[in-house]
Structures are given as C-alpha cells and as structure tokens.
Amino acid sequence: MSNPIIRELHAREVLDSRGRPTVEAEILTADRYLARAIAPSGASTGKHEALELRDGDPKRYRGRGVLHAVRNVNEIIAPKLIGTPLADVDAMLIALDGTSNKSHLGANAMLAVSLAAAHASAMCEEIPLWMHLAIRRAPKMPMPMVNMISGGLHAGGNLELQDFLFVPIHATTYSEALMQTVEVYQCLGELLRDAGYEGTLVGDEGGFGPRLRTNEEALEFLVRAYHKAGIKAGIALDVAATHFYRGELYHLESRSLTSGDMIQTLRQWVDAYPIVSIEDGLAEDDWDGWRELTSELGGRVQLIGDDLFVTNVDRVAHGIANRVANSVLVKLNQIGTLSETLAVIEQAKANGYRTVVSARSGETEDTTMADLAVGTGAGQIKIGSIVRSERLAKYNQLLRIEEHLSGPEHFAGW
C-alpha cells in the first residue's frame, strides 16, 4: 500500500521503568496492521526540552499521571488523524499543537503517536523499522556507550557527575562490543564489592551506585575494571553540569568553580584518564564557557551537547554557528516527533557533528531508539547499562538487527 491510512488511533496510560505513568499509542491502519509505541521520560531534563504533560493530581501517582495527555490523543488528535495518511502524521501533530515547546498537546502524547505511525508505516511496507528509516541513509550498527557508575539524579546524588560510561573503542562489531561491556561490568562489580562498596544494587539506568568519596574515584575504579577484564577501552562522562550550576558557579565536591575552573578540571581528568567523550561538561546556557571548552578540548575528545541542544534544530544551529561542542545527543522526547528528530540528526551530520541516540532514565520495553540509531547511521547509542529489562530490550533488538547487518563494514566503530 503506497499511502497507508489510519483507521483507528487510541492512547492509554502505562508505566515506565521507574513505575511512573507515560503514554502509549496504538494505530490500526486501513490494511489492519496494528502498531504501538511508548514515550519515555527523563529525570535529568533540560529546561529547553519540549513539555512532558503531567496531570498534577496528587491523588493519582503523586501528580505524575498522564490522563490529560492520553485524552489529548483520544479526543483531539485521533479525530483529526483518522482517515489520513501515515506520512502526514508529524506535520499534522505539529500544526495541531501550534506551540514551540509542545505545551498544548504534550510532547509525550505527540511522540507516542509519531512513533506508532512510523511503526505502522514499516509494517505496511513489510520491512523492519530500521530499514524504513534507512531510506536515503546508510544504516550502521552503532557503537554502544554504556553506563557503569551512576551519580547525580540517576542514583540519589551520591556523586555530582551523572554517569561514568564504558566505550569499547577497539571492538570491531556490535556483538563484540556488547560482550566486552558485560565483562567489564562484572569486573567492576567485583572490584566495588572487594573494596567494601555497593556492587550489586543499581541506579535508574542500571549503573552501579556506590557511595564513593569523589568523582575521580569512580574514574579510577573504571580503569581498574578495564585492567581486570584485560580490555582496552575509553571512558565517557555525562557531567550533567547544569544540575550543580548555581549563581554562575559550578559547585563540585565542596568547591565553587568558574567556567574556566571547571574546564581545567575536565582537562586534568582527560590528561589523567582514557576519557574519549564528555557530555554536558558545562551548563545548558553557559554558551561562553562552552566555546572555551570546545576550543580547549574539542580537538581531543567528543564534546556532546544534551541539555545544551535538547534535540532542537535552532539550538543546534546556534551551537554550530558559534563552534560549540562537536556532538549532539539525540533524545526523541526532547523534541516530540520523529521527523523533527531526524532533522536534527541530518543537520548535525551535515555540519560535521557526531550524533549519539540516547535513552531516558524512565524507559520502557519500546525498542524504537535501537532502530533509529541503526537506520540513521547515527554512529553511537547510549541506552544505559546491561542490566534491567527496559535496557536489554534495546541491546537485544540491536543483536537481532546485526543478523541482517553483520560484519565490521556495518559497524560504525569509534
């Protein structure tokens, strides 16, 4: 069917990996293909993200219910979309919302519908979603960037930095990268337990949450885990600096740092440890600091903008024009539709910026992001750790896709 039509559209309230409500949408096409998708939710959110609509009723899920967003799908969006082509869904959603931050319909409502439409389109074409997304693009298996130790809002604030991640930069296939990840994760747990730290319980994204004394101690444990596993690899940091930025200063380990001081701290860590990537090393609106950081470290490591860019073409364009960062984190729910997400990926690539497709701390069994990373040839994926089934759903989906794209030539590498 060249132009599949929506026959039915329905949304419901379901739960994410933190036991908090989110929106699931189902689309039935005229050819009776049934597709569904679920919107994820973040804990560490940038203030420039598209609005996630919550009910605010303290009697239901402590105010976190999404019945309003669900009603928006069932009572506002569905009547407009039923009988229309799947290809027109995103444009109609954006026009129907009519706001710059999706505050009318809610980014969670819009994204669930947008992704369900993409799945339905792939079904109608009788091809996998990654192949549907790969039209006019070269599909590639992504390099995983894997959470090992969690801090910040992902693990109770035991450390200021949010994530310390393993990057298997010498792996030659996705499956080899995943195998290395499991070995390092297990070695890290053993080292933490041997040192008297918690090496079993995990944070929101599956990384260990030990109460270490300093952020640098986490780096040291990662290096020791690499040596124990006999694997040479890189370290990635998700600094999430906005969350300890107050009064134009960065409050890190009982110190109050200027942007310049924070940059020098990051440079010292890059000098001392095998750090290959730094995400949100400075706050989301510290543009002057970001320019200095990029000048200082942009030639040595990947500098990713997450809260800085929030998967928004205007903020990415501003960063490109001002030579800020060199990579873009891509989160579907930061912008609210698949088409806008694809536009950011293409914009970044056209300007020489790397792209990293990322999950959220509140994830679900939905595996769309795995197909997105492959279909767009994004190059990297950041799912979380290799425990918790909402994470493994994506890693296992990538293993299935690799059966169709096997061999080093189909792996993005580092």
Cβ(284)–Cβ(307) under 8 Å?
yes
The pLDDT mean for the chain works out to 95
Is 214 within a domain? yes
Is 99 within a domain? yes
Alpha-helical (H) ranges within 66-207 are 67-71, 78-81, 89-97, 107-125, 129-133, 174-194
How far apart (Å, rounded) are the C-alpha atoms in residues 336 and 107?
5
Domain extent, residue 34, equals 6-126
What are the tens digits of pLDDT across the range 238-279?
999 999 999 999 999 999 999 999 999 999 999 999 999 999
Please say if the pLDDT value at position 155 is more than 60: no
Neighbouring C-beta atoms of residue 411, cutoff 10 Å: 21
The reply to whether 150 and 103 lie within a common domain is no
DSSP letter at 240?
A: -
The reply to whether 155 and 110 lie within a common domain is no
How far apart (Å, rounded) are the C-alpha atoms in residues 242 and 239?
9
The reply to whether 101 and 232 lie within a common domain is no
Is 134 within a domain? no
Give 319-336 as a DSSP string. Answer: HHHTT--SEEEE-HHHHS
Is 285 within a domain? yes
Tell me the β-bridge partners of 357.
330, 381
Query: How far is C-alpha 313 from the chain's CA centre?
Result: 16
What are the tens digits of pLDDT across the range 187-228?
999 999 999 998 888 988 999 999 999 999 999 999 999 999
The reply to whether 119 and 160 lie within a common domain is no
Per the structure, the count of domains in the chain is 2
Cβ(227)–Cβ(160) under 8 Å?
no
Is 138 within a domain? no
| Residue 329 tokens, joined | 């984190």
The reply to whether 160 and 229 lie within a common domain is yes
For residue 403, give the 3-state DSSP assignment: coil
Q: How do beta strands 302-305 and 275-279 pair?
A: parallel
- Please list the active-site residues: 205, 331
Please say if the pLDDT value at position 384 is more than 70: yes
The reply to whether 79 and 159 lie within a common domain is no
The reply to whether 155 and 89 lie within a common domain is no
For residue 400, give the 3-state DSSP assignment: helix
Is pTM beyond 0.85? Reply is yes
Residue with tokens 């101690």: 217
The reply to whether 353 and 207 lie within a common domain is yes
Neighbouring C-beta atoms of residue 50, cutoff 10 Å: 28
- Show Cβ contacts of residue 379 under 8 Å, excluding neighbours closer than 6 positions: 140, 142, 143, 354, 355, 356, 412
- Residue 76: give its domain's CATH number: 3.30.390.10
Is 364 within a domain? yes
How far apart (Å, rounded) are the C-alpha atoms in residues 24 and 70?
8
φ, ψ of residue 77 to 5 degrees: the values are -75, -50
DSSP letter at 52?
A: P
Which of 99, 126, 153 corresponds to the end of one domain? 126
| Residue 191 tokens, joined | 């080292």
φ, ψ of residue 325 to 5 degrees: the values are 65, 175
For residue 257, give the 3-state DSSP assignment: strand
Which of 100, 126, 152 corresponds to the end of one domain? 126
Cβ(211)–Cβ(158) under 8 Å?
yes
Tell me the β-bridge partners of 22.
14
Q: How confident is the model at residue 156 (pLDDT cuts 50, 70, 90)?
A: low
The reply to whether 195 and 240 lie within a common domain is yes
Is 199 within a domain? yes
Is 346 within a domain? yes
Left (φ > 0), alpha (ψ -120 to 50) or beta: where does 233 sit?
beta
Which of 91, 126, 161 corresponds to the end of one domain? 126
φ, ψ of residue 245 to 5 degrees: the values are -105, 115
DSSP H or E segment with residue 267: helix 259-272
Q: What is the dihedral of CA 219, 223, 229, 233, to 10 degrees?
A: 90
- Residue 306: give its domain's CATH number: 3.20.20.120
Q: How confident is the model at residue 1 (pLDDT cuts 50, 70, 90)?
A: very low
The reply to whether 158 and 272 lie within a common domain is yes
| Residue 369 tokens, joined | 């992001």
The reply to whether 122 and 147 lie within a common domain is no
What are the tens digits of pLDDT across the range 318-347?
999 999 999 999 999 999 999 999 999 999
Residue 314: the pLDDT is: 97
The reply to whether 389 and 279 lie within a common domain is yes
Residue 42: the pLDDT is: 79
